[in-house]
Amino acid sequence: MEQKGWRDLPLGGMILQAGNSIEYQTGGWRAFRPIYGEAACIHCMQCWLFCPDSCILVDQESGKMTGFDLDFCKGCGICAIQCPVNQKIIKKAEQEIKQDDPRLCIRIVEEGKFEE
Amino acid sequence: MSTFSALDGNSAVANAMRQINPDVVAAYPITPQTSTVQTFADFVADGLVDTEFVCVESEHSAMSACVGASSAGARVMTATAANGMALMWEIMYIAASNRNPVVMSLVNRALSGPINIHCDHSDSMGARDSGWIQLYSENGQEAYDNIIQAIRIAEHPDVLLPVMVCQDGFITSHGMERVELYDDADVKAFVGTYEPQWPLLDLENPKTYGPLDFYDYYYEHKRQQVQGMEKAFPVVQEVTAEFNTKFGRDYGLFETYKLQDAEVAIVVLNSTAGTAKVAVDKLRDEGLKVGLLKPRLFRPFPARELVDALKHVKAIAVMDRSISFGIMDNGGPLFSEFAAAFYVYGPRIPMADYIYGLGGRDILTQEIESVFRDALKIAETGQVERTVTFLGVRE
């Protein structure tokens, strides 16, 4: 994106266009990525409710969770922490479950170190 | 028609505020500013103004309310002093960077500690890098006149910066004097109506003030602020000229007194300039060629014009009513500005600094005479024995 010089910018950092945060794709900040394990999901919408960046994609017709909007997801991992399916799997497991365990409904992997 | 009244400096400023009739005033009481806002609160209660008067719980809140109201599109004023201004500190920078044209009456008072309620310039001088324009006033009349002009300067589209108008705590803020109040309608016509360009209350065009601004844009916004300060020079001159014509005054960027043929000069701000004029007259009677320069606009600092006005003298004594601790020789900010201005733009003239009047310590004509005599000696020998003198301090 071309950055304007001081003569062409609104004064004092003012933003004159409403709703332009959509143009700033915060997904570039991400160090961790959520991966959706569709098979385990019960579509309870807890992740949708808690996501601070409204990045949970939901199919309008079926009302089912379909994945993440990775243009804006910052990888905070709140979805994985509050996911009730994740909690159930962790409680039932006999040994420690890591956050990138493929059994989880929402697993968190290091950005750039995963296979789709 | 103008009227002449016996008023102290604070009441004169309160009357300017009444005539300006700002949309919002947010202020918190602090000595010696209190009676400004107290008098203005009477005007609000008596229905003489339409102002929304916001009684806040601290000066930090006062300046925050000013920033909010100004961003909303209101014409905004406030008043404070010393520690009150210190509590506004964070938000003063924000007002300047947001380009909120807030006008403040600052009644100069010593900053604590030790706690002291009397005059010196440590408050406004500490804020000299905050991005506010600063005008200084010798007496109540000048404070009244400067406040009226400050509105036009601050709100000028080329400037859009907050302005503080300084006068000396108690000495002029509470000193009764003859003040000419201009006709209400004339002041109203002079200040005009504020036409904000980007008011938050323009709901058809929503916008954001004060967003996060990182390394990719912050620098450009600081550069814009520099432009506002730069443009303040012509704007102050324009507004001053119009004011002079309309109200029969003779203001400039600074005032000179018997300076034209002077061999030595004192540079001093605010009320002490009045005392110094008496000292000038006395020494002139003795045949000594002494003169005075009283800066009015300190921020932005009109370096070239000041150098030009003083370049013919053989010695300059700068008098500082505050200390910039740790600066070269522990002098004052005014001295350091003049020394820098002459180094860059002027001839090399011997210059010395005289700290005086801290915490309201009286400054007498005899002391100012002694400064002039020092300066005459410096002019004669070309030698500055002491760069900084602490005038009137007990050893």
Asked, colleague to colleague, whether B3-247 and B254-390 share their fold, the answer is yes
Q: Is the pTM of this model over 0.95?
A: no
Q: What is the CATH number of domain B3-247?
A: 3.40.50.970
Taking the Cβ of residue B208 and every Cβ of chain A, the question of whether any pair is shorter than 8 Å is answered with yes
Contact A9 B224 (CB under 8 A): yes
pLDDT mean by block of 10 residues, chain B; 395 residues: 96 98 98 98 98 97 98 98 98 98 98 97 98 98 98 98 98 98 98 97 94 94 98 98 98 98 98 98 98 98 98 98 97 98 97 98 98 98 97 96
What is the ipTM for the molecules in this complex?
0.89
Angle formed by the axes of helices B140-155 and B218-247, nearest 10°: 130
In angstroms, the CA B217 to CA A13 distance is: 8
The tens digit of pLDDT for each residue in A60-94 reads 999 999 999 999 999 999 999 999 999 999 999 98
- Phi and psi, residue B27, nearest 5°: -155, 160
Taking CA atoms, what residue in A is nearest to B211? A13
User: How many CB pairs lie under 8 A apart between chains A and B?
Assistant: 51
Q: Half-sphere exposure of residue B145, counting CA atoms within 13 Å on the CB side?
A: 26
Which of A13, A16, A18 minimises the CB distance to B217?
Answer: A13
Is 1.10.10.410 the CATH number for B254-390? no
Average of pLDDT values for A20-34? 91
A13 vs B210: CB contact, 8 Å cut-off?
A: yes
**Residues of B with CB below 8 A from A29's CB?**
none
Instruction: Give pLDDT, residue A112.
Output: 83
What is residue B355's predicted lDDT score, i.e. its pLDDT? 98
Residue B187 φ then ψ, to 5°: -65, -45
Please state at what angle helix B218-247 crosses helix B184-191, rounded to 10 degrees.
150
pLDDT bin (cut points 50, 70, 90) of residue A116 is low
pLDDT, one tens digit per residue, over B266-325 is 999 999 999 999 999 999 999 999 999 999 999 999 999 999 999 999 999 999 999 999
- Pick from B207, B220, B224: which is nearest to A16 by CB? B207
Closest CA to B147 of B179, B115, B117, B122: B179
Instruction: Look at A18 and B153; give whichever has higher pLDDT.
Output: B153
Q: Read off the pLDDT band of A55 (50, 70, 90).
A: very high
Q: Which residues of B touch A16 (CB under 8 A)?
A: 198, 205, 207
pLDDT at B250: 98
A31 at interface of B, judged by CB pairs closer than 8 A: no
Average pLDDT over residues A96-115: 90
pLDDT in tens, B382-394: 999 999 999 999 9
Give the relative orientation of helices B9-20 and B34-45 as an angle to the nearest 10 degrees.
40
Cα gap B378→B314, rounded to integer Å: 8
Stretch (H or E) spanning B389: strand B388-390
Domains and CATH numbers, chain A: 27-110 (3.30.70.20)
Q: Average per-residue pLDDT in chain A?
A: 93
Put simply, the answer to whether B97 touches A12 (Cβ < 8 Å) is yes
Distances from the Cα of B44 to the Cα of B6, B185, B188, angstroms? 21, 18, 17
- In this model, does residue A115 exceed pLDDT 80? no
Q: How confident is the model at residue A20 (pLDDT cuts 50, 70, 90)?
A: confident
Q: How confident is the model at residue A1 (pLDDT cuts 50, 70, 90)?
A: low
Residue among B176, B141, B145 nearest B35 (CA)? B176
Sketch the domain layout of chain B as residue ranges.
3-247, 254-390
Subunit contact B224:A6, Cβ cutoff 8 A: yes
